[in-house]
Amino acid sequence: MRKLIYPILFIISFFGVVLQAQTTCDNFTVNTVVTPSTCQSNGTVTVTLTGADAAGLFNVQYSLESAVSGGFSLLPTANNVLTGIPAGTYTVTVSAFCDSQGQYSVVKTKTNVVVGGSYQVPELSFVAPGRSSTASTVSPTSRKPYAGCATGQIVMLLKNGNQTATPVFTMTSAPAGVTVPQIVSVSRYSSGSLSAGYIYTLDGLYPSGDYTVEINDGCYVSSKSFTLEELTDMPIPYSTSSYTSLTYNHIRPYLGDNPGCSLINLSLTAPTTSNVDFYQYYRDGLYEVGAAALNQTPTSWTTWEYGNSTPTVDLGSNQLSDFYGSPNKMSIYFRVKNCPSVQSKYDLYIRKPYYFTTGYRYNCDSVKAMIRPWTDYDGVLCYPITFKVVKTDTNEVIREQTNITNPNQIVDSLAFAYKTRYTVSVISNGETIFSVNENHTPDVSYSSTSDHKYCDTWENYYSRSYLNCYPVYVDIKDSGGVTVALDTIYSSASADSYSPPLEYDKAYTFNFTYNIIINGNPYTSSYTKTTANGMPNALTLSIYNSSSYEGCIINNGSLRIYTGTTSRVWPAGTVFTITGPASFGTKTYTVTSSSYYYYIYNLVIPPGDYTVTADYGCGTVSSTTYLPGVYDVEDFTYTTENTCSGMKVTPSATLTYYGNTATTYFRLTSGPAGYDRSVISSGGSFTFSAAGTYILSVVTTNDANRCALVSDTIVYTAPPMELDNTRTSAYACVGSSVGNIALQAINGVAPYTYELWDENNTTQLQGPQTSSDRVVYTYGNPGSTYTVRIADNCGNSFTQQVTVANLETAKLVFAESNPVCYGEDIKLRCLTLGITDYDWTYPDGTTHPGQIQVITGADSSKSGWYKVSVEAEFCGAPVEDSIYISVYNPINITDPGLANQTLQICPRASLTLGETVTGGSGNYTYKWQYSSNGTSWSTSSATTPTFSVTGPNNTTASFSYQYIKRTVTDAACGEFVENYQLNVIPCYIPVNPDLMNLGTGNPMKKSKK
């Protein structure tokens, strides 16, 4: 293998000292003019040289290195206009020879060359379908289409890039029936920013299927693939917890004039955000409802408008009375607007009204009654109606009210005499729809489950919901007719609701005498009741299914303690003691009111054996049982895959409920704008379309609002596609006129396709080449610039310029700083020459591999020549270069022991501070500060190496200069600080005149801290 050694290296090796003395052409300055980068990488740096030696330089080479390790760099080139540079901070290096024979090389750098530019690569993402917010105004989201119909909507989020003008949106792939490629018009949502993104809605409606949309902002093409999934189901318009279908329970009367008797209202359960897709269609007003005779087609359709839970439907030529009672059925239809093929149908009938809603007050003289037709499914009438009340025995009309279009129009107050029969009727269209009979007595009744039960006695509960006439006298007799207690009920207050204590297992007759006169006599009533001993003799402990407390915390739920029968109750004061597994411990609870059950809500119930003991004052019962826990999750994990749609995340976990395997659901409980809010089960996946932080959660139901049982945070970075600076290079070997352009893209989705075009990006010169790895073009002239076009497998693409360096003249080794300050790191880097070995030789003769070298703790022993030999990947012969590193001496003062001094000074005497500084670059600046207490500092205007201080008037006066510090700053190597403390001492007039100058100049006494 031929080994190239520049002439300069011979001089370095044998005449290094002479060379340094003969380098006499360095009297020039490196100047730069920067054009900012308005795209990913299109900034320029134009380098010019000025000064006495600038015109006499030979073979001038210009190169550029990022201030960030591994950042963008340009190999040396003869062209002083450096192009294709991304925004950032750089060091520009100029290398040249002092004469035409290549003798006496010179290298100069200019650091902190800033290429401006705020451009960031555009990030296009798909805004997932579904609406999760109930707010009146929300940003748009995509919408899933229904099967077989183009009802879908596409919404995209675009962050960064150039969006001053709307970028060009192009649909490049779509399902059959959609023309591609096509430029699509878009509407931008009013709010947004570059960093947060702007939301764009594509014009038109779309069918289900796979799509790819790309944007071109003039610098970069960002592409995103996504799937518009189809909907096939319609929302269920009723509460599934209460009903299994739409029934007569969901029909309501149309209140108002209904002359054709064809209008009814439906009481519907609207879609909620628990299903974001149905809710979106509902909020967009895309559901319609209609009614007709059984299996017939509606003649009119009503939009199911947001916020209207009782839409009005028209039965067409039918009247509502046609559908009174089974089996005279009708059909209610729901459909998607503009998609009539998607429907749901429910067959039902209208329940014929047969009773009223009522309210009574049993006063002492009469019954005050409020009687009206129901306004729910028990009152589906054709309004207007007539309301009529007559005495049944005499047919005397008590009330007749006509032309009623709303039950609220019926006069409330009706007075019924006790033990008198009345008939109340509703008449519509001249036909009596229904009648009811009214005949009242003010009886006190009982409710055994409300009784108070104690160890030896019980108390009867008096139930009297409508009674409004007190007092009521109670005579309680035993089975032999003997009065055992007299009681009086004074009001409806709870204190008057219970009898005196009575014995178990004895029959008692409760005789009530009312302050109500009927047929000239006080009204009376009675009932007989026997109550068995109600103290518990057994108990069961079980997990109580209470969804309000389940599914948000592992094994969180509720407990139920049951006597085993409704006839035995836990009396007030009963104490339960529950002992469970170690994490549960022992807990106690006290019953506050008697009942045959006791619930304990919202506690963690780990699997294990539980013992519960009930102490109710006159006995105890206990039981031990195994409880399997509530909701638990095992093996929660996920896999990821980078796709053109984004990062595909497939979660998996095992959910158990009461120890049994249950259906496991997953949802994203948090994410960046536009994230997928759907709920999936095991085997499904989410696609992270936008970069950001996501929270993946296991949930227990198919509800988009369900709380998370367990969660994991996933950060999706989605860095933009770019060229890898460490694997991309362009150079011509020594003695060759043909370049080697090696390209390696990173990020995006491989494989990548590369094309080589001319500098102006108008003529294709080479390519394309497609690879997941690096590609190499053997093409190009040394010193020439070319444009590379790069695209990934998803359609993301950009262009970047590369310049072919000439290794025969290129300076390859660069130092981050030179000379180097004492104690700092020497940082060296060789320019990238492909995937190869970089072998360094240090001044001490040791060898070290690697493209980048960091030598810690610089001192004089580490100054000297650092040489590198590179087996250039495409050249076959090593290329060598070197750099001489100088190390500054440490910054210090002449006598380091004087850095921290305590001095004494006489009143009114003067003292000059400041020792000579050495080391560093020698370019020093000085700052003096002073303080009376050593904590609060003032800064002097003095910037000189020395500082003069005058003592106070006497030893008791305040002295602002008791503490002084000098900060010496070297232009290259930082700061050095000296501290002084001046103590004022009394001084006496000396006898010897030669001592009169004491305190002026040198201190009287000097000591170290």
pLDDT in tens, 236-266: 999 988 899 999 999 999 999 998 999 999 9
Three-state DSSP class for residue 255: coil
The answer to whether the beta carbons of residues 741 and 805 sit under 8 Å apart is: no
| pLDDT at residue 415 is higher than 70 | yes
Rounded-to-integer distance, Cα 697 and Cα 552, Å? 11
**Token pair belonging to 723:** 């060229």
* Local confidence band at 992 (pLDDT 50, 70, 90 cut-offs): low
- pLDDT tens string 1-13: 333 333 333 333 3
The number of helix segments (H) and strand segments (E) in the chain equals: 2, 80
Q: What is the pLDDT of residue 493?
A: 76
Is residue 79 scored above 60 in pLDDT? yes
Residues 6+ apart with CB under 8 A from 306: 270, 282, 283, 285
Beta strands in 363-503 (DSSP E): 367-373, 385-391, 397-404, 414-416, 422-428, 431-438, 445-446, 452-453, 457-459, 462-463, 472-477, 483-489, 502-503
The answer to whether residue 17 scores a pLDDT higher than 60 is: no
Q: How would residue 990 be classed by pLDDT, with cut points 50, 70 and 90?
A: low
Q: Is the pLDDT of residue 541 over 80?
A: yes
What is the rounded distance in angstroms from the CA atom of residue 522 to the CA atom of residue 441? 12
pLDDT band with cut points at 50, 70 and 90 for residue 75: confident
What pLDDT, on a 0 to 100 scale, did the predictor assign at position 955?
Answer: 82
- What is the structure's pLDDT at 6? 35
Provide the mean pLDDT of the chain: 91
Q: What is the mean pLDDT of residues 811-831?
A: 88
Task: Give the domains, in start order, of the chain with CATH numbers.
Answer: 1-118 (2.60.40), 123-228 (2.60.40), 248-348 (2.60.40), 356-438 (2.60.40), 445-530 (2.60.40), 540-549+562-627 (2.60.40), 631-716 (2.60.40), 722-806 (2.60.40.10), 892-1008 (2.60.40.10)
Longest CA–CA span in the chain (Å) reads 147
> What distance in Å separates the CA atoms of residue 789 and residue 767, rounded to the nearest whole number?
10
Measure the CA–CA gap between 579 and 363, rounded to whole angstroms.
Answer: 54
Alpha-helical regions (H) of 191-311: 276-283
Query: Alpha-carbon distance 35 to 45, whole Å?
Result: 6
Q: Residue 590 phi/psi, 5° resolution?
A: -120, 130
Burial class (CB in 10 A: 0-12, 13-18, 19+), 477: middle
- Check pLDDT > 80 for residue 556: yes
What is the tens place of the pLDDT at every residue in 338-364? 898 999 999 999 999 999 999 999 999
Helices (H), ranges, 172-213: none
CA-CA-CA-CA torsion sign (154, 159, 165, 168): negative
Mean pLDDT of 377-392: 96
| Residue range 141-197, pLDDT digits in tens | 999 999 999 999 999 999 999 999 999 999 999 999 999 999 999 999 999 999 999
Q: pLDDT tens digits for 962-975?
A: 899 999 999 889 88
Q: What's the rounded mean pLDDT across residues 330-335?
A: 97
Q: How far apart are CA 289 and CA 283, in angstroms?
A: 15
Can you list the pairs that 842-849 forms with residues at least 24 positions away whose Cβ atoms lie under 8 Å?
A: 842/866, 843/885
Stronger pLDDT, 131 or 1001, i.e. the higher one: 131
3-state secondary structure of 547: helix
Q: 763-797: per-residue pLDDT in tens?
A: 999 989 999 999 999 999 999 999 999 999 999 99
The first and second tokens of residue 830, run together, are 């060789």
Instruction: Please answer whether residues 776 and 741 qualify as being in contact, where contact means their C-beta atoms are separated by less than 8 angstroms.
Output: yes
Which of 8-12, 35-39, 458-462: highest mean pLDDT? 35-39
Give the per-residue pLDDT at 13.
34
Residue owning tokens 């929660």: 636
pLDDT reported for residue 24: 64
* Better-predicted residue by pLDDT, 109 or 495: 109
pLDDT at 1002 over 60: no
Q: Give pLDDT tens digits for 879-935.
A: 998 989 999 999 888 777 677 888 899 999 998 998 889 999 889 999 999 998 989
| Reported confidence tier of residue 16, pLDDT bands at 50, 70, 90 | very low
Share of residues in the chain with pLDDT > 90 (%): 74
Residue 820: predicted pLDDT: 93
Could you give the CA distance from residue 707 to residue 699 in angstroms, rounded to a whole number? 6
As a whole number, mean pLDDT of residues 688-706 equals 96
